[in-house]
Amino acid sequence: MILSTRAAANNTTYSPELAINAKSLCRNFGQLAAISNLDLTVEKQTIYGFLGPNGSGKTTAIRLLTGLLKPTSGQINVLGCHLPQEANKLRLQIGYMTQKFSLYDDLTVKENLQFISKIYGLTANEQKSRLSELLSTHQLTQQSQQLAGSMSGGQKQRLALAAAVIHKPKLLFLDEPTSAVDPQNRREFWEQLFDLCDQGTTILVSTHYMDEAERCHKLAILENGVKRADDTPQALMNNMSAQVVEIAANDLRYIKDKLIQLPQVISAAQLGTHLRVLVNKAERNPVGLLQRQSCIKPTDQLAIVRPSLEDVFVSCTGQGGAR
Amino acid sequence: MKTSLLRIQAIVTKELLQLSRDRMTFAMVIMIPFVQLLLFAFAINTNVRNIPVGVVDHSQTSLSRILQQTVSATGIITFTHSYHSVKAAQKAIDSNEVRAVLIIPQDVSQRLVRHPSVGFGLPPSSKQETSRPIAQWLVDGSDTVIAGSIKSLRNMPLAELLDKPANRNTPTFEVTLLYNPEQRSVVNIVPGLVAVILTMTMIMFTSAAIVREQERGNMEMLITTPLAPIELMIGKIFPYIFIGAIQVTIILGLGYWLFNVPFNGGLTQLAIATLLFICASLVLGLVISTIAKNQLQSMQMTIFILLPSILLSGFMFPYEGMPLPAQYIAEALPATHFIRLIRGVVLRDVDVIEMNFDMFWLIGFTCFGLLVAALRFKKTLD
């Protein structure tokens, strides 16, 4: 499996195991390079995540992969279609849920879904059964006659997902789908994504939430249009270029200000009563290094802990990535 | 093909649903033709009446007063002020108190008897040489319509001033006025108003229709679907054809019932002409929508088209009186061709096919515009 993925990464010819295969993808907006040299392989029936801060190129990458934008250079193959040439052929096979709610506020839930189903050419019978199925799956049966504009963020998001999967796409793009919903709705939303994935859909989701990224089968960390890392969340945490030391002490703000000046320290962030310090992996004894600092008292407790995805994110983006 | 029709039908249904919920727009569809018809039909009048004028009467005789009454009786002017000197009268014109002043000289009675038009036969040659106009008009000539009206008084008959029968001169030409013998402006205005109102509403609605989808973010979703640009375009303009038909019915109906505008042509001919123009206007709106980035820009471009459609199309001023470059611009506007067609159909009972140049021009414009709009509409966000 790994071998075939690698082989596919070297050229963008269609590989049956891959839903997306992009190579050396670049997209410039004037002087700004929104995406630089992005290589991407997404296996079928997986949930692949784009993790990155705002402006990191997540939306641009998704728009390139859906054929909405043309690349400045590079090759893209999505579900066997070469983009941007075969964008029209691809459209029946993909679903796209935009970052901003893009259905009609002045139509009801049912009218919105009927509209989309007709656009995808569903017959009257197919439409009827698919709509009732989607309304019940996405818990929208009660709201079916409600105007979309008057619904809550969570309900709108469920409607947008229902519309995006109405034609049973093989590949689903979700651009920051849960940015406007509460944790409970987010949890239920992800359960539905795994159901879809289980039924054979490949999903590419962009997010800036760590907990959401951790749910993905595989993950790419983007910053300023560059892919900083990509792997499974577990592998990313295991192979992180830093070690995490947690400090329990009294004067954490003062300690943080001092430690951050050390060249070996990538970042330091307070989490409640603890300070989480990322130390370069080259440092053999990170606890010893920190204990030697004058700001640390002998009574303070220091321990190496398991890295989180946020640590991975910090270590390979921003200041951490630069060091 | 079947799925294509299904997609067009989906867009049409969606547009109608949205329109039925947008009460303001729906009200405008009815109110624009209603209000504008009443407004324009009453307001636009090239037969100027009751122009406020002053008088400087140096004579102060009963004859000068009869002269004033005779001029006043034409209905063209109304004497509202009297001034003691020409200087004061000129000041009054400067300050827009009156639009003109009649200056009656002291020797008005002598001038009158020597005047050839009074009809005492030819005056002796000595008197003929000395015959002069009996009074003078000072006119604010900046408004050509007002100036023209007062100039028409230049040769008004004066015989009745002296209880003489009016001169019955044989005119050089006999003039027979067809289609509008009473010379009522409204007969010409109402059919033209159909063109102006349709230009305004049809272009405005469609130009905003696609731009709105972009502004609200719906377009990003739509262009990832299999919907083809031409399907979107046709689906978008289809509902407005009915709206245009409703507006034409309101304008011509009210014109007929309220202003007695004759309706001489056949309904089928009217329907053909109107349909052609509605399609041309809608397509023009679509082209604008592919250029404009937001609804404000689309509105500005609509006005850019609307103004020449009012001023150059022949709606207000005769096309023939315009200089050649203006005529070329007028020819490019769908409104010009439609005004010719609808005046032909409504007032002169002409078949559209007899005016085939205008008809084919509108058909050509629609096809070309639809092609441009579909080509310009991008299925990418580039």
pLDDT per residue over A5-26, tens digit each? 433 344 455 677 889 999 999 9
Quote the minimal CA–CA distance from B276 to chain A in Å: 28
Residues B230 and B303 in one domain: yes
For residues A161-180, average pLDDT = 91
CATH of the domain at B135: 3.40.190
* pLDDT for the residue B371: 87
Is it the case that residue A116 has pLDDT exceeding 50? yes
Q: Whole domain around residue B291: which residue ranges? A: 2-44+183-376
Partner A contacted by B236 (CB < 8 A)? no
Residues B225 and B330 in one domain: yes
* pLDDT for the residue B23: 86
Query: Which CATH number applies to A241-306?
Result: 3.30.70.100
For residues A148-170, average pLDDT = 92
* CA atoms in the 13 A half-sphere facing the CB of B375: 6
Residues B40 and B57 in one domain: no
Domain annotation covers residue B175? no
Domain annotation covers residue B176? no
* pLDDT for the residue A182: 84
* pLDDT for the residue B258: 87
Is it the case that residue A117 has pLDDT exceeding 90? yes
| Tokens standing for residue B241 | 């054809």
CB contact under 8 A, A105 and B226: no
Residues B15 and B82 in one domain: no
* pLDDT for the residue B42: 79
Residues B156 and B228 in one domain: no
pLDDT per residue over B157-211, tens digit each? 776 666 665 555 677 788 888 888 777 778 888 888 889 989 988 998 888 888 8
Domain tally, chain B: 2
List the one residue out of B381, B94, B364, B334 whose CA is nearest residue B195. Answer: B334
Residues B234 and B355 in one domain: yes
Domain annotation covers residue B17? yes
Domain annotation covers residue B172? no
Q: Which residue of B has its CA nearest to A87?
A: B224
Residues B233 and B363 in one domain: yes
Quote the minimal CA–CA distance from B378 to chain A in Å: 10
* pLDDT for the residue B167: 55
d(CA B274, CA B60): 61
CB contact under 8 A, B216 and A105: yes
Residues B142 and B219 in one domain: no
pLDDT per residue over B19-31, tens digit each? 888 888 888 888 8
Residues B101 and B25 in one domain: no
Residues B157 and B278 in one domain: no
Is it the case that residue B122 has pLDDT exceeding 60? no
| Tokens standing for residue B21 | 């919920």
Q: Which of B133, B162, B191 is the last residue of a domain?
A: B162
Is it the case that residue B228 has pLDDT exceeding 80? yes
Give the best residue of B221, B236, B377, B382 to mutate against chain A (max A CB count within 10 A). Answer: B221
Percent of chain B with pLDDT strictly greater than 70: 92
Residues B18 and B79 in one domain: no
Which H/E stretch holds residue A20?
strand A18-29
Distance of CA B351 to the CA centre of its chain: 23
* pLDDT for the residue A13: 57
Query: Which CATH number applies to A2-230?
Result: 3.40.50.300
Name the pLDDT band for B132 (thresholds 50, 70, 90).
Answer: confident
d(CA B177, CA B259): 19
Phi, psi (degrees; rounded to nearest 5) at A219: -145, 140
* pLDDT for the residue B366: 93
Question: Taking the domains of chain A in order of start, what are their residue ranges?
Answer: 2-230, 241-306
pLDDT per residue over A58-71, tens digit each? 999 999 999 889 99
pLDDT per residue over B30-48, tens digit each? 888 888 888 887 777 777 8
CB contact under 8 A, B224 and A103: no
pLDDT per residue over A221-276, tens digit each? 999 889 888 899 899 888 888 889 999 988 889 999 989 898 889 889 998 889 99
Higher confidence at residue B252 or residue B167?
Answer: B252
d(CA B216, CA B175): 60
Give chain B as a 3 state SS string. Answer: CHHHHHHHHHHHHHHHHHHHHCHHHHHHHHHHHHHHHHHHHHHCCCCCCCEEEEEEECCCCHHHHHHHHHHHHCCCEEEEEEECCHHHHHHHHHCCCCCEEEEECCCHHHHHHHCHHHCCCCCCHHHHHHCCCCCEEEECCCCHHHHHHHHCCCCCCCHHHHCCCCCCCCCCCCCCCCCCCCCCHHHHHHHHHHHHHHHHHHHHHHHHHHHHHHHHCHHHHHCCCCCCHHHHHHHHHHHHHHHHHHHHHHHHHHHHHHHCCCCCCCHHHHHHHHHHHHHHHHHHHHHHHHHCCCHHHHHHHHHHHHHHHHHCCCCCCCHHHCCHHHHHHHHHCHHHHHHHHHHHHHHHCCCHHHHHHHHHHHHHHHHHHHHHHHHHCCCCCC
**Residues of chain B contacting A88 with CB distance shorter than 8 Å:** 226, 379
Residues B130 and B272 in one domain: no
**Cβ neighbourhood burial of B81 (10 Å; 0-12, 13-18, 19+):** middle
CB contact under 8 A, A69 and B14: no
